[in-house]
Chain A
Amino acid sequence: MAPLKQVVSSEGLFDMLREAMKELPVIAPAERKDQPGFHHFARLQQAEDFVPDYVTTTLPPKKAFFQPSETLFTFTTDQPPALELVSDTEHFVLAGVHPCDLAGLDALDLAYSQPPAEVRWPADRGLATVVGIDCMPDDYCFCSSVGTCLTRQGCDLFLTKVDRGYLAEVYTPAGDTMLAKVRTWEPTEADIRDAEQWRERKVERMTAHLEADPAEIADLLEAGGLAHLWKETAERCYSCGSCNTTCPACFCFDMHDEFDLSLKTGIRRRTWDSCQLLEFALVAGRHNFRQEREQRVRHRWHRKFLYLYRRLGRAYCTGCGRCSRACTADINLVDVTNALIAHARKAADHA
């Protein structure tokens, strides 16, 4: 069903956030104080801090639901111990989410809800009202290659820039309630056309592309014979793990206990983890079944484009380009993937 559409002025958008902030925390992209020109998802102190045309943040908005390090529960050393679940997330608004990041949240919804489903992620997810916003690509974005360009999944309200403000698509009653706090107008044909042109321009301006669709990429990874390309990539990689920790579709984690100083109480924590780190696949007896860096590099591509694609029906890459922006070794996911594609096609031609 087509969503209800309304137009809100540019000032009206800020008014909407201001209204929401009276009742709830609002997390949205704002300029980083420590790095002017860069943006991050942070709790807004004032509505004016919201930057509607921000460039992709370093960390994805998944951190609003799953912090890089978070407490699962507290324990005591009593007999029997007292265990208490900890959830520091309250109802909040997550605003200014690009379509690729909506896709990222949706990918994690799917992964964490596979039976046996975990409760933690969906419980926190259910607390948020999500406002999406359309964007323009930079040199690293390639969402049109992985089908996330138009994602509206999991958002309550979605905004697209038009000449006289924003065209708001209303997807849920929560989105409707937010929008109802400010003055809106029925969209005219011009508004609808503006929004369509925005989407067309977005695709036209995309410079990075995967040379095959996710289905073909999965097939060629499965076919294998790419060892020298894994090796080449691994020779440049530092195994720093930044490509995982910045990724909206990565969801691996570690768990460990911490006592507090009294040694009478403590917490179990979980923290984001990365399959590129050497210790990730360590097993008993210090054996490591991904000891070699090329095995870890290969695992990253396989997991994103083959294993999870086969298991859950979608590539675990949203085309956001964060991993390539973050990589100190300048390993670009699009370039590497295209090299894999080119090699596989050449090999197929010779066969």
Chain B
Amino acid sequence: MPDRLVRAPYPMTKVFYRPALAQVLRVDQLTQSENLLALRMGTGEPLNHEPGQFVQVSLFGYGEAPISICSSPKGKEGFEICVREVGTVSGAIHDLEPGDWIGIRGPYGRGFPVVELEGKDVLIVAGGIGMAPLRSLVGHIRDNRRRYGRIIVVYGAKNPAAILFKNDLKVWFEDEGIELYVTVDSPDESWTGRSGVVTSIIRDLDLGSSASMNAVVVGPPVMYRFVAMELFRHGLTEDRIIFSLERRFKCGIGKCGHCQVNDLYVCRDGPVFRYSELLGRSEAVEVWAPEEQ
């Protein structure tokens, strides 16, 4: 019988498409359509993620979806994800109860540049579910507060009932190290806070000398262009504006081609990109006005 082929060994970073198992520890309903889940890997090992990274969450029989890790890397027990119910997998996630098992691949992707941001001022802009990955970043910054300069968080939600992570927001509000602005598009009678879109808050911010200011922006695609315009008015340059993009992932590791934005794989080269990296990439539709495409 022919010998087995002798060839230089393949580099084996090893992604089996078979996920690892994780167990649901807690489920908190945050809003009508968003649940917060605390998970623990079946091995008991920590996930060792960076803020801004994602996991491929498997609900067997339903499929897989990329979901941001929304807890700080320092979390003692397991990690958290916040999921909005929009379709097949996210719907099945919403049916989960504590004790249930799901599949996890990852963490994957390039997260927020937390090391490069050290010593800098950071303006964090969240729209809707974009708060999920940014909660991980805020958590990381709070865990390492002295390494960062001024921290401003601007969070916009559709209406008061849609505000995520209310417990965290209370804590951040008390935290003198964080300037927090929460705004809603459509206030109701009970709402005493700010209303209007996030851009109006950004416009009024006093960023002082913005020389060391970096902005990290995660939200619905329509938000990116408008937020960027405001940031330019404050003197920020493209290399200091950071976005996280969303595509429909299949493999999550730069193989299947589904998430490609021109030459970039959102799953592998991102999901976090600097605006400057997206310049000239016509398929990064969220950063261009349609007429510019």
Contacts and interface: CB of A to CB of B under 8 A. Distances in A.
Given A112-B255, A252-B258, A254-B250, A85 B18 contact: yes
Interface stretch (B9-17, B68-76, B199-207): B9-17
Contact of B2 (A129, A266, A268): A129
A78 to B, nearest CB: 9
Contacts of A311: 263
A220 B58 CA distance: 42
A257 B15 contact: no
Interface residues on B, range: 35 or more
B4 A91 contact: yes
A75 B263 CA distance: 34
B103 interface: yes
Contacts of A118: 15-17, 251, 253, 255
A156 B3 CA distance: 11
Contacts of A253: 250-251, 255-257
A77 B61 contact: yes
A73 to B, nearest CB: 4
Contact of B251 (A75, A79, A83, A255): A255
Interface residues of A, number: 71
A199 B201 CA distance: 70
B263 A178 contact: no
A275 to B, nearest CB: 6
B285 interface: yes
Contact of B254 (A76, A116, A263): A116
B179 to A, nearest CB: 31
B244 interface: no
B263 A310 contact: yes
B7 A75 contact: no
A119 B16 contact: yes
Interface in A116-131: 116-120, 122, 125-130
Contacts of B14: 116-117, 119
Given A268-B17, A290-B283, A113 B10 contact: yes
A306 B101 CA distance: 43
Interface string A61-97: 0000000000011011101110101000001010000
B101 A75 contact: no
A346 interface: no
A129 B101 contact: no
Interface stretch (A36-44, A133-141, A276-284, A321-329): A276-284
Given A112-B255, A116-B253, A281-B258, A85 B61 contact: no
Given A77-B61, A156-B5, A259-B61, A283 B247 contact: yes
A162 B10 CA distance: 35
A302 B3 CA distance: 40
Contacts of B258: 252, 254, 273, 280-281
Interface string A239-267: 00000000000011111110100010010
B2 A178 contact: yes
Contacts of A115: 11, 13
A266 B61 contact: yes
Contacts of A255: 17, 63-64, 250-251, 256
Interface in A155-210: 156, 172-175, 177-178
Contacts of A275: 257
B246 interface: yes
B15 A72 contact: no
Nearest to A181: B2
Nearest to A131: B2
Contacts of A129: 2, 5
Interface string B1-37: 1111111001111111111010100000000000000
Contacts of B212: none
Interface of B: 1-7, 10-19, 21, 23, 42, 58, 60-64, 86, 99-101, 103, 108, 221, 246-248, 250-251, 253-258, 260-263, 268, 283, 285
Given A23-B2, A174-B5, A255-B256, 19 more contacts: A24-B2, A80-B23, A83-B21, A117-B13, A122-B10, A125-B10, A156-B5, A173-B3, A177-B2, A177-B3, A252-B256, A254-B256, A255-B17, A257-B60, A266-B61, A283-B248, A290-B283, A302-B263, A303-B257
15 contacts: A20-B2, A81-B21, A115-B11, A117-B12, A117-B15, A127-B4, A156-B2, A172-B7, A174-B6, A252-B258, A257-B62, A257-B63, A270-B17, A299-B260, A302-B262
